[in-house]
Amino acid sequence: MNKILTIIKREFMTKFFTKGFLIGTLLSPFIMLGLIFFPALLGDIDQERTNHFHFVDQSGTLASQMNTLFNDTLSDGSPEFQLTEISPATFASDRQRLETALEEDAMDAILVIPENVLSNGKIDFLATSVGGLSVLGKMEGRFQEAINKIRLQDAGLDPDNVEKLTANVDINTLKVGGGEQSEDAFDQQMIMAVVFLFFLYMSSILYGNSVMRGVLEEKTSRIIEVLLSSSNSFQLMMGKIFGVGSLGLAQYLVWMVVGGLGFFIAGSTAPSLLNNISVEPIVFLYFILFYMIGFFQYSSLYAAAGAMSNTQEDAQGLSTPVTFLIIIPFLLSLTLGMQNPDGTISTILSILPFFAPMVMFVRMALVDPPMIEIVLSLVVNVAAIIFFIWLCAKIYRVGVLMYGKRPTVPEMIKWLRYR
């Protein structure tokens, strides 16, 4: 036991106090935030401009309404849409000239409302680029509304009455848990689940690879035999796994402290910033629990892959299947797990080893799975951890002293039978 602790201490001290790790740990929260907010910021900047549109109304139904339909203003008070009408009579002869002007950026787009717009509901949007989705979406909605009104009137119905009768029904998502109801928090919970899931995924790959590289380094630098003369291969492997795993936990601890400080400062200076953020503290506990379950499963396989390799290339090849065991559950959690956390497949996946850490985490963060499933999942996965560590320790023990060619599968099966 003392030897495992000595190994953990070495792993931790030599890796934690390196410039790369410290800088990476301190910078990554900011990079994360940047990745989330930067695209949104860019999108906002892009939208803040007036759209110069020319339009021709060959149906004669919408021209009079156009300015009221598109009377939005930008945040500085200037109009979002500047519309110029083209007479339908001259459009055909002017079209060439207008399109040239469009190409020379004299305007942003030409809208052609055809004669039969009421029956086939199609409007042409001529532009040199397809344009921002939000603008197109807005226009589609407005035209839809206006044309529907005209269609209703033509059918002899009162549009206002129809609107009342077909008023939207909204589903207000409320999550009930622990006696209190959190309104409007469901969306945020989805986002937080994705963020945490992403961290689970990243750290499983990152730290799993770190275990593999560590094992390979000990093998290629030939220190392994010195270590084996003081301890046994099981202690070495466990020390490596726990050492690197504790490094991950330390990193999370730093992030939680930094994040907590951030919340504290934001809370005391600008409380409104925090209105949109709510994380139940229990999610952190789930996160740590599933990080550890996943880490033990993946890293024991990575350790075995490292022990079987002689070069970085060997290790890359051998670790690819292990990496897939992380990527596939991650993608399934993002899709199936998020969309249907209580479905049969999600339920089964949340019990299976390698899938459980991410799928069960998502389920626990989004819905409250029955206690029996949680207990079953924990039992199955702890048993899986014991089994994989036993298996990988056997491979590790023989592998670390084998130099030369990469072993074949039958050879590895033989290794399991070595005394």
Partner 1 sequence: MNALVVENISKTYDDFQAVKSVSFELQEGKLFGLLGPNGAGKTTTMRMIMNIIVPDSGNIYLFGEKFNELHKNQVGYLPEERGLYPKMKLMDHLQFLGEMKGMSPKDAKTIGLRWMDRFGMLDRAKRKVSELSKGLQQKIQFISTIMHEPKLIIMDEPFSGLDPVNAKFLKDILLELKASGTTIILSTHLMDQAEKLCDEICLISNGQIVLQGDIKKVKKDHSLNNVIVEYSGNGDFIKSLPMVKTSDDYGNYIDVQLHDDRSPGELFKELASADLDVRRFEATEASLNQIFIDIVEKK
Q: Could you list the residues that contact partner 1 (CB under 8 A)?
A: 2-3, 6-7, 10, 13-14, 217-218, 221-232, 401, 414, 418-419
Regarding beta strands 81-86 and 51-57, do their DSSP bridges make them parallel or antiparallel, or are they unpaired?
parallel
Distance of CA 61 to the CA centre of its chain: 46
| Least distance to partner 1, CB of residue 311, Å | 16
The smaller minimum CB distance to partner 1, of residues 2 and 75, is found at: 2
Residues in the chain: 419
CB of 240: closest distance to partner 1 in angstroms? 13
Q: Where are the alpha helices (DSSP H) in 176-232?
A: 185-220, 224-228
Q: How far is the CB of 223 from partner 1 (least distance, A)?
A: 4
Q: Count Cα atoms within 13 angstroms, Cβ side, for 308.
A: 25
Q: How far is the CB of 36 from partner 1 (least distance, A)?
A: 35
Nearer to partner 1, 85 or 411 (CB): 411
Cβ 245 to partner 1 shortest distance, Å: 19
Q: Which is nearer to partner 1, 13 or 277 (CB)?
A: 13
What end-to-end distance do the CA atoms of the chain give, in Å?
22
Nearer to partner 1, 11 or 57 (CB): 11
CA-CA distances (angstroms) from residue 271 to 261, 266, 277?
A: 14, 6, 11
Q: From CA 326, how far away is CA 342, in angstroms rounded?
A: 21
Looking at beta carbons only, is 140 or 225 nearer to partner 1? 225
In the complex, least distance from residue 407 CB atom to partner 1, rounded to whole angstroms: 12
Q: Which is nearer to partner 1, 278 or 312 (CB)?
A: 312
Q: Answer whether 39's CB lies under 8 Å from 93's CB.
A: no
Say if CB 196 and CB 365 are below 8 A apart.
Answer: yes
What are the two backbone dihedrals, phi and then psi, of residue 125, each rounded to the nearest 5 degrees? -120, 105
**Shortest separation between residue 302's beta carbon and partner 1, angstroms:** 19
DSSP structure class, residue 64: G
- Rounded to the nearest whole angstrom, what is the least distance from the CB of residue 222 to partner 1 in the complex? 3
Please tell me whether residue 401 adopts helix, strand or coil conformation.
Answer: coil
Distance CA 404, CA 90 (A): 83
Tell me the C-alpha to C-alpha distance, in Å, between residue 38 and each of 25, 42, 43, 278.
20, 6, 9, 21
What are the Cα distances from residue 60, in Å, to 150, 225, 406?
Answer: 12, 89, 78
Distance CA 234, CA 240 (A): 10
Residue among 206, 230, 239, 184 at smallest CA distance from 11: 239
Give least dist CB 242 to partner 1, A: 15
Q: Tokens representing 110?
A: 């030409």
| Residue whose pair of structure tokens reads 């004299």 in the numeric block | 106
Decide whether 133 or 418 has the Cβ nearer to partner 1.
418
Rounded least distance, CB 19 to partner 1, Å: 12
Nearer to partner 1, 223 or 379 (CB): 223
Give CA–CA dist 328/325, Å, rounded: 6
The CA distance from 137 to 198, in Å, is 30
In three-state secondary structure terms, 229 is coil
Which residue lies nearer to partner 1 by CB, 163 or 217?
Answer: 217
Nearer residue to partner 1 within complex by CB, 16 or 252: 16
CB of residue 31 vs partner 1: minimum separation in angstroms? Answer: 26
